Amino acid sequence: MSEPNPLLRVSARGLLRRRGMWLPSAVILGLLSLVLSMLYLGANNDPVGSTKDLPIALVTSDRGTKVAGQRIDLGAQIATQVTGSAELRDKVSWKKVDRRTADDLLARGKVFGALVIPEDFSASVAALAGPPQHEPHPPTMTVLTNPAAGSFGSGMAAEINRKVVSQASAQVGRVLTQQLGQQAAQQSESAHAGRPVAPAAAQLMIADPVKVNVEEGYPLGAHSGLGLSAFFYALVLVLGGMLGANVIHTQVDTALGYMANDKGPFRLVKPTQHMTRTHHFAVCSVLMVVLSMLTSALAMAGAIGVVGIDASHLGLLWIFGTCATAAMGITALALLAVLGTPGPIVSMLVLIGLAIPSAGATIPLQALPDFYRFLAEFEPFRQVVDGVRSILYFDARTDAGLGRAWTMTAIGFSVSLLLGLVLTRLYDRRGLHRSAPLRLSAAHPQPGPQTVPA
């Protein structure tokens, strides 16, 4: 088969010997590997040690009781000790509320769990120190989880609450043991008087009297990925915008003749058609917005229709998905238009590299280092996750993250669109057109590497 006759020919060995083929790729790939490893592993290296102000509700419904004419309120005492604990002071932000408010906080994803001290807590503890019962009722605290707010954060809150119950049980057990010790002299007399002595099982219960009851404070459906379906759905939207921008940009360049259309062994190069950078960005943006409607619908079809995830508010989910995808796409297109060839790498770092670790989707924001909490204030992925989570889990309540998600998505879309239009217009006014002809140097009449506007 005949080969084309280019002006210059180069062998594979000769090309590989060029330093320019190795150095840029080595620098770019090396830096990407270094930066991404630091970003992802740095965020997840020590979530327990990085935890700060993890929100947990504390409900004290204990009515107290009277023992030997004195009123005791163990629930209030335990709550005071818990909120004043030096060990948990910086790690946990306790929300002392009633049960109704706690349920509302759980339903809005504002807390990762709750610890509930019941109404009869003091009475059930006092009963253990009184005359032996046929069927003693152990004092119980309830730990409420909230996987809808994040399964990892919910697990952290549940573990903290279990430790609190364990410490409270040990403290109450010591008090009861002391009281029983004071009554030890009377037990022998009680036995001679015909009154029953506390059996061994009851004495063991007194040593560790408080039991923990773990319940799901805000139930999720069986097909919600234990609270992770929102993260993966948001990831689909973000990738749809970023990858969609690259596809659209390439297709427009191919249609204008800036790039060749390679399909397997076949290569088609169209005549170059001039278009200003501003118009090029505008065309890509229109395509991105319109096609986002399709990609959002197909994402829903795959996730809900085929996979079968639990979802409601389907119309709102489609609209939000469309807007989120469009905002991500416009951001990536603006970076492509402004930066040229480095645009895809920068957009990947902005929309994926920096965004996923700071999204609070797997590791809660309160368990991330300060740098990632700062990123979470404006990184787009966090906003998309909050919006999707509110729609899928929290009945699309604006105060459950959806309001902030709409606001930040609109800001991101507007800023990216304005940035793209202003800078591409500036390039056009300075004559930095993409279709500028190649200029050969007089000192080098043969064609060689040329530097032209991207």
- Fill in the amino acid letter for 300: M
Q: What is the 3-state secondary structure (H, E, C) of 387-442?
A: HHHHHHHCCCCHHHCHHHHHHHHHHHHHHHHHHHHHHHHHHHHCCCCCCCCCCCCC
Pairing relationship of beta strands 92-97 and 113-117 according to DSSP bridges: unpaired
Q: What is the 3-state secondary structure (H, E, C) of 374-401?
A: HHHCCCHHHHHHHHHHHHHHCCCCHHHC
Q: What is the pTM of this model?
A: 0.85
Helix (H) or strand (E) holding 60: strand 54-60
Q: Determine if residue 212 is left, alpha or beta; phi over 0 gives left, psi from -120 to 50 gives alpha, anything else beta.
A: beta
Print pLDDT tens along the chain (454 aa). Answer: 455 555 578 888 888 888 888 888 899 889 989 998 998 898 888 998 889 999 999 999 988 888 767 788 888 999 999 998 888 888 999 999 999 999 999 999 999 999 999 998 888 888 876 665 556 678 899 999 999 998 899 999 999 999 999 988 888 877 777 766 655 545 555 554 444 455 444 555 677 788 999 999 999 988 999 899 999 999 999 999 999 999 999 999 999 988 888 888 888 888 888 899 999 999 999 999 999 999 999 999 999 999 999 999 999 999 999 999 999 999 999 999 999 989 999 999 989 989 999 998 889 999 999 999 999 999 999 999 999 999 999 999 999 999 999 999 999 999 999 999 999 999 999 988 876 554 444 444 444 444 444 4
- Fill in the amino acid letter for 131: P
Helix, strand or coil, per DSSP, at residue 116: strand
